Amino acid sequence: MENLTAGYEGATVLENLSFDVHRGEIFVILGGSGCGKSTLLKHMIGLYKPLSGRILLGGQDMSEAEGQERLNLLSRIGVMYQSGALFGSMTLLENVRLPLHEFTKLPAEAMDLIAQMKLTLVGLHGFEDHMPAELSGGMRKRAAIARAMALDPEILFMDELSAGLDPVTSAELDQLVLSLARNLRITFVIVTHELPSIYAIADRAIMLDKRAKGIVAEGRPQDLRDHSDNPWVRQFFHREATESPAA
Amino acid sequence: MSAEKAATGLKKAEAERVGLTTAVQSGPDGAVLTLTLSGRLDASSTASLWRPTISALEKTRPVLIKVEASAVTYCDGAGISLLFDLLRRQKKIGGRLEIIGLAEEFQRLLDLFDPTEFETGAAKRAQPSNVMAETGRTVYLVWRDAVQFIAFVGELSIALAQAARHPGKIRWSDTLWVCERTGVNALPIIALISFLVGLIMAFQAAIPMRLFGAEIYVANLIALSMIRELGPLMTAIVLAGRSGSAFAAELGTMKVNEEIDALTTMGLDPMGFLVVPRVIAALTMTPLLTVFADLVGVLGGSIVLLSLGYPMITYVNQVLVSVTYIDLLGGLAKSFVFGIMIAGVGCLRGLQAQIGASAVGESTTRSVVTGIILIVLIDGAFSVVYFYIGI
């Protein structure tokens, strides 16, 4: 990520952002609501074009790539969207099988088995034939992770990984992320607010701020919590409310 | 003890990245299949390995499979699934599988799965249904729909009655806004369609009537058919497609986004809050649009007679003697009922929306289909009634 400036029609959300994500690392993007976390993520996965700057994936520019080059880059990433974004007209198994079907030459039984195994990994064994509409929000999120992992990408991007999940499921997801990162050396870029999950999994974190329009802190979450000079960062990690005149 | 060894035919490009050799030995209990894997086991290389591996397994039906995996440099979910497939197939027939030399990180991934949890073969496919079951289902759905429709008519009647008793409680700003969208904004399309219908009908009628020297009666035909029948009907069909569908989509989206639930828990009745303004707007706008459609349709017909050499005043006089106020009021009474029906059906279909992305599209389609069917049925009913009361 080099000197990224991003924004929407007239309003810049992020200015001059530069950072690196290393291979096999679990990288967390933090920040208060509306600070541009999701905007940053959508730039990283190539959905939005930056106003200036570059986003490099192994030396190739994500935002400039087109045609086959872009498809090759996209095949190296997987994305889990905030609300799951499962295709409502397909069962879970079909959702997970779709990328396998479109991008590999595996035989049908292999695709079924891989899709079933991915769903088992996220604890959804037995729900293969369910439609997304029949599931709870947390289950949809887990199914979305299974779909993002279908092609075993190098980098998995996750928007709001554990928001809205119960603590047990959330902890299981953390375990899953850790095991995938350590065993398969998958790189994770995760946007999240959940402090326990951040401490459990994050190798490194950056923290964005709305007023600074950029990164206010970078490092291990434990270090940021205990040693940051920035009062807002400490406040974030200690879950303290901003003092208001009424209080 | 006999042994045979074979390198499995892989495409050249794949063979550079991944390797597979199979060897069969016959032991005391049965065949022993040794599979030697090497290289990168990812989705594309596994795709080329899958069939050769499974066919070697099915051909030899071994009691023991030895997988020599020490030369595997990378193994992702697809490679793991291949090993897992071998494992579950062996479990099923009571055979054994030994994996030798697979790197620990890959072995850990394989250990995450329990072969007894997975059935072999393809996943279950939907069963084809039989005719009896389908018929029963359809009848049940039609019956349920009819019950919901009747309940909706009842609730709407109560809500309209309450609105009539307390007009101050009606959301007039919403009503005016809906009036603008269903009424004013529909003027151009109604004008275009009525004008063309009048013109085409006059033109088609003028050709045979000319043979009898009766072209002037084209005016009677246009006036009567537009004002009694086609004006209300065309307006209603355009509104069903344009506004009924819009109501269904709006309310359907609100349903999907839980906005309807939010209204209900706030103590606001969706019927009074959303449906009543739309129904009032439609029942006032439809007759007005119908009058407009009547006028424009008759005007369209005049073009043909003018081009045949009749002056405008002759056409106007002929129109005025051929239709009475009863004809006009009969058409307007119909359009009034159409208006209530179109808005009601649109709102009902919106409120019935299920969950999911396709729900809104479905409710929109259903609103237009139901709307048009009911328009034709109501029109037929009016024709019969008008015939018996002699207007």
Q: How far apart are the first and last CA of chain A?
A: 41
pLDDT value, residue B52: 85
Q: Give me A57's structure tokens.
A: 């994936």
Taking contacts as CB-CB distances below 8 angstroms, the residues of chain A near B77 are 114, 117-118, 149-150, 152
Q: Show the DSSP H helices in chain B as ranges.
A: 12-15, 43-60, 77-93, 104-111, 131-165, 172-182, 187-211, 218-224, 231-239, 245-256, 259-265, 270, 276-307, 312-322, 325-351, 357-389
Domain A2-237 fold is Rossmann fold (3.40.50)
Nearest Cα residue to B367 out of B236, B259, B246: B246
CB contacts of A150 in chain B (<8 Å) are 77
Do residue A133 and residue B51 have CB atoms under 8 angstroms apart? no
Q: Among residues B117, B145, B160, which one ends one of the domains?
A: B117
In chain A, what are the domain boundaries?
Answer: 2-237
**CB-CB neighbors (< 8 A) of B105 in chain A:** 182-184
Domain containing residue B14: CATH number: 3.30.750.24
Q: Across the interface, which of A93, A106, A125 has its CB nearest the CB of B47?
A: A106
Task: Answer whether A71 touches B (CB < 8 Å).
Answer: no
Q: Provide the 3-class DSSP secondary structure of residue A107.
A: coil
- pLDDT for position A11: 59
Per DSSP bridges, beta strands A2-8 and A52-54 are antiparallel
User: Average pLDDT of each block of 10 consecutive residues along chain A (247 residues)?
Assistant: 53 75 86 79 81 78 78 84 82 89 85 88 85 82 87 86 78 82 83 84 86 79 79 78 56
Q: Specify whether B235 is located in the same domain as B88.
A: no
Query: Is A154's Cβ below 8 Å from some Cβ in B?
Result: no
The reply to whether residue A184 touches residue B50, judged by beta carbons under 8 angstroms, is: no
Nearest chain A Cα distance for residue B284, angstroms: 39
Q: Do the domain assignments include residue B232? A: yes
What's the farthest any 2 CA atoms get from each other in chain A? 65
pLDDT for position B16? 61
Residues B254 and B304 in one domain: yes
Name, in order, each residue with C-beta under 8 angstroms of B382's C-beta and a sequence gap of 6 or more.
Answer: B330, B333, B334, B337
Kindly indicate the confidence band of residue B1, based on its pLDDT and cuts at 50, 70 and 90: very low
Instruction: Report the DSSP beta bridge partners of residue B31.
Output: B26
**How big is chain A by its Cα radius of gyration, in Å?**
19
Evaluate if pTM is beyond 0.80. no
pLDDT at B135: 93
- Is B122 within a domain? no
Q: Chain A within 8 Å of B108 (Cβ-Cβ)? A: yes
Q: Which residues of B237-249 are buried (b: 16+ CB within 10 A; e: fewer)?
A: bbbbbbbbbbbbb
pLDDT for B3: 42
- Is the ipTM beyond the 0.95 threshold? no
Residues B158 and B108 in one domain: no
Task: For residue B85, list chain A residues with Cβ-Cβ distance below 8 A.
Answer: 109-110, 113
Chain B residue with CA closest to A149: the answer is B77
What are the φ/ψ torsions at residue A146 (nearest 5 degrees)? -60, -40
Instruction: Check residue B20 and report its DSSP letter.
Output: E
Is the domain of B317 the same as that of B190?
Answer: yes
Name the residue in chain A with its Cα closest to that of B354: A133
Cβ–Cβ under 8 Å, residues B31 and B63: yes
B354 and A179: CB-CB below 8 Å? no
Q: How distant is the Cα of A145 from the closest Cα of chain B, in angstroms?
A: 14
Count of structural domains within chain B: 2
> pLDDT band for position B14 (50/70/90)?
low
**B81 chain-A contacts, CB cut-off 8 A:** 110, 113-114, 117
Do B77 and B155 belong together in one domain? no
Please indicate, yes or no, whether residues B289 and B203 belong to a single structural domain of this protein: yes
For chain A, helix, strand, coil in percent to 5 are 40, 20, 40
Q: Does A85 touch chain B (CB under 8 A)?
A: no
- The reply to whether B245 touches chain A by the CB within 8 Å rule is no
Per-residue pLDDT, B158: 94
- Burial state string for B161-185 with b = 16 or more CB within 10 A and e = fewer than 16: eebeeeeeebbeebbeebbebbbee
Predicted pLDDT of residue A9: 47
CA distance A11 to B30: 73
- Secondary structure of residue A189 in the 3-state scheme: strand
pLDDT of residue B265: 84
Question: Measured between beta carbons, which residues in chain B are less than 8 angstroms from residue A125?
Answer: 117
Give yes or no for a contact between A41 and A189, defined as CB atoms under 8 angstroms apart: yes
Residue A244, pLDDT score: 54
Inspect the interface and report whether the beta carbons of B47 and A105 lie closer than 8 Å: yes
**Residue B11 is part of which domain span?**
3-117
> Of how many residues is chain B composed?
391
For residue B55, being part of any structural domain is answered with: yes
pLDDT score, position B121: 47
Which carries the bigger pLDDT value, residue B5 or residue A45?
Answer: A45
Domain-located, residue B182: yes
Query: Inter-chain contact B354–A133, Cβ cutoff 8 Å?
Result: yes
The answer to the question of residue B123 being in a domain is no
**Assigned token pair, A83:** 């609300």
- Overall average pLDDT of the B312-329 stretch: 94
Q: Which two tokens stand for residue B122?
A: 């393809």
CA atoms of A69 and A61, how far apart (whole Å)? 10
Run of H or E residues at B25:
strand B18-26
Model confidence at B134: pLDDT above 70:
yes
B345 and B309 part of one domain: yes
Choose the final residue of a domain: B86, B117, B148: B117
Same domain (yes/no): B194, B50? no
Nearest CA in chain B to A153: B76
Closest residue in B to A122 (Cα) is: B112
pLDDT, averaged across chain B: 88
Whole-number Å distance between alpha carbons of B380 and B377: 5
Same domain, B148 and B273: yes
Estimate to the nearest angstrom the gap between the alpha carbon of A228 and the chain centroid.
25
